[in-house]
């Protein structure tokens, strides 16, 4: 566990593009409607993380939570004496292909302890990420999943959902949140008509406007948690020309303002 903490700290301090993120806080964070558009592994390094809703799930330091790619969740990050710190690794649906159809669970999340095997696998992944080329990242992500399978977590084969159209559009928008592609442009990129795009989104109970807002705010949440960018610059990078509108939309979605979230962050 200590080796993993050290590896994360060194990697984040390197300033390089990384296939993971580290969230931290010195004060409690309670954030509503956190979007989970890709399967997400959360490894709690200090403090604890709670998933709130019909069933409350708590991950203590030394635990992991694997979250399915489904609707938004309400989360609570609770610091301990060392604050709150968590390693977050996003996966692609394709990473799970060797495990699809295996296992027996349809759970939306999986909780477990970081065994010596998992801890060492994650430490190697973090250390390796600072120098390995990006096109090899999927191979090492799959190693983490194979380690989970080896440790008996066979549910991973059933808990991940194939990405629907809304997931595909969300990911496109999140990749460039300042852009503003219309339905015609997106339909052409996805090889379908505008009417088909709108109809399929209605079937998934969403719309292009909703997905654009979710993608922009999701990226903003990550930038506020992982960078020192001024709030105004975060708003601009995420396609908001009005700082006040960004603040209003952020508070309406997550239950706190960007400045309030930033004040909970660890610094240094």
pTM of the shown model? 0.90
Q: Which two tokens stand for residue 143?
A: 């190693």
Report the alpha-carbon distance of residue 7 to residue 14 in Å, rounded: 11
Question: For tokens 């710190």, what's the residue?
Answer: 85
Going residue by residue through the chain (268 aa), what tens digit of pLDDT does each one get? 899 999 999 999 888 889 999 999 999 999 999 988 889 999 999 999 999 877 789 999 999 999 988 767 899 999 998 899 999 999 998 999 998 776 555 678 899 999 999 999 999 999 999 999 999 999 999 999 999 999 999 888 888 878 889 888 998 999 999 988 889 999 999 999 999 999 999 998 899 999 999 999 999 999 999 998 999 999 999 999 899 999 999 999 999 999 999 999 756 5
109 with 66: CB under 8 angstroms?
yes
φ/ψ of 33, rounded to 5, equals 55, 40
């Amino acid at each position: 566990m200590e080796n993993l903490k050290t590896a994360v700290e060194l990697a984040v301090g390197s300033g390089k593009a990384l296939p993971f993120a580290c969230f931290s806080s010195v004060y409690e964070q309670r954030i509503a409607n956190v979007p989970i558009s890709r399967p997400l592994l959360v490894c709690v390094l200090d403090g604890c993380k709670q998933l709130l809703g019909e069933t409350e799930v708590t991950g203590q330091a030394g635990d992991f939570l694997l979250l399915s790619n489904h609707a938004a969740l309400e989360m609570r990050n609770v610091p301990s004496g060392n604050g709150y710190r968590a390693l977050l690794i996003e996966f692609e649906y394709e990473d799970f292909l060797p495990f699809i159809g295996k296992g027996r669970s349809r759970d939306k999340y999986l909780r477990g302890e970081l065994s010596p095997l998992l801890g060492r696998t994650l430490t190697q992944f973090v250390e390796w990420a600072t120098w390995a080329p990006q096109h090899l990242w999927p191979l090492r992500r799959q190693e983490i999943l194979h380690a989970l399978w080896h440790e008996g977590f066979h549910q991973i084969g059933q808990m991940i959902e194939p990405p629907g159209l809304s997931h595909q559009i969300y990911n496109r928008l999140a990749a460039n949140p300042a852009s503003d592609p219309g339905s015609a442009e997106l339909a052409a990129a996805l090889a379908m008509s505008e009417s088909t795009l709108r109809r399929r989104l209605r079937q998934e109970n969403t719309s292009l406007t909703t997905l654009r807002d979710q993608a922009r705010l999701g990226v903003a949440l990550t930038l506020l948690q992982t960078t020192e960018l001024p709030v105004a610059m975060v708003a601009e990078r995420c396609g908001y020309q009005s700082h006040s509108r960004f603040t209003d939309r952020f508070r309406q979605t997550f239950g706190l303002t960007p400045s309030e979230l930033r004040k909970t962050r660890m610094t240094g």
